[in-house]
Structure 1
């Protein structure tokens, strides 16, 4: 019997740029094609319940928790997957995402952490970060309004966007940029679906 292909698709980008919506749409499309899929997420909300600092207040420990918990969630999701020719884990916040948020927080506070701490976080993220078969990176559109319930710091949000794409370049990680343009989002979804469909054994 042929072993199923296990694919990991991650998304990263600044807050309120459509990451979760994008992953939900991919999940819905895959389920409609009878593909075994599990989506992870809610890391920010769960960190707040610990409680751990978030956003521009991220620390080394809070970032370590987000990276490690996200990795653990992805491993558990893979175990829970139902059998099928293709199995997909959708990571709503790839582990690289937490590192970008941390770097943005350091710049926002103008308080860089010790080099040893920065390197330890990078090792933690990179140990798992290269296992993604596809990374979708949302692009911040500052002209789009944010819901009133979100009290975001605009400068920090811009820094997260900048560090997200800088990190992807630094690590030479293949990825698909996803803008707020509906056509860009549709292309990203199609890219993910094509990846999953081509991995099915003949």
Structure 2
């Protein structure tokens, strides 16, 4: 008899907009409630180790790698049973995220990859990206300082933010906008808490 599929919560958004911090807070909240949870992430860092281009240098190949690796990570954590079945998977960078970064990179360079090349990562993201039980998308606040060590291009961050929300609207994906305001952050955590309290597999 197969176990019920775990709930899947994903986050996406422009660089340095609090995605990882938000997922850590959700993870802590769920663990405090006794809900077995696993969190994926560090895709950008791992892509750089391959090495693959990232940020405004994102390509079709790097986009496809990030999407495929993220999907594989989400599947893999559900198979780690040393502490019992995982009830919730937190995807730090939902699979749609890399597609938004790629579209932003194309606009940043004022170029466009051939349609046939763009279709492959889109099909991959579309096949998996419609199965999130909750999708959170951060909203860029350009007034907030960014640590100098990150060295993010300001124009590229703005493009990623726009393409993130444009993409989700184009694909008719239901999601929760998460701003930098504390109330918005708390509301996102509450969405996750309520979802898991009522629907997490036992």
| TM-score interval (norm. to shorter) | over 0.9
Q: Provide the C-alpha distance between the structure 1 equivalents of 2:157 and 2:141, rounded to a whole number of angstroms.
A: 10
**What does residue 199 of structure 1 align with?**
199
Deviations 1:42-68 (A, max 9, x none): 000000000000100001101010000
1:5–1:199 CA contact under 8 A, matched in 2: no
Equivalent residue, structure 2, for 1:145: 145
1:190 corresponding residue in structure 2: 190
Mapping 1:100-111, distance limit 5 Å: 100-111=100-111
| Cα drift, residue 83 of structure 1 | 3.5
Matched, 1:6 2:41: no
Q: Note the residue ranges of structure 2 that are not aligned, 5 or more in a row.
A: none
Distance 1:128 1:5 in 2: 14
Would the aligned equivalents of 2:87 and 2:201 in 1 still touch at CA under 8 Å?
no
1:143-172 deviations in whole A, cap 9, x for unaligned? Answer: 000011111110000000000000000011
Q: Distance in 2 between matches of 1:200 and 1:149?
A: 38
Counterparts of 2:175 and 2:123 in 1: how far apart (Å)? 20
Correspondence list, 1:101-180, <5 A: 101-180=101-180
After TM superposition, the score normalised by the length of structure 1 is 0.95
Name structure 1 gaps, 5 residues minimum.
none
* Aligned CA-pair RMSD: 1.6
Q: How many residues align?
A: 201
Q: Is the 8 A contact 1:2 1:201 kept in 2?
A: no
Matched, 1:94 2:94: yes
The separation in 1 between residues aligned to 2:201 and 2:80, in whole angstroms, is: 21
The normalised TM-score by structure 2 is 0.95
Moved over 2 A (4+): 1-5, 81-84
Work out the CA distance in 2 between the residues paired with 1:139 and 1:66.
Answer: 21
Task: Kindly state the Cα deviation for residue 78 of structure 1 after the two structures are TM-superposed.
Answer: 1.3
Aligned position for 1:24 = 24
Q: Contact (CA 8 Å) 2:37, 2:90: kept in 1 or not?
A: yes
Helix, strand or coil: the match of 1:132? coil
Query: Which moved further from structure 2: 90-99 or 4-13?
Result: 4-13
Secondary structure of 2:183's match? helix
Q: Distance in 1 between matches of 2:100 and 2:18?
A: 17
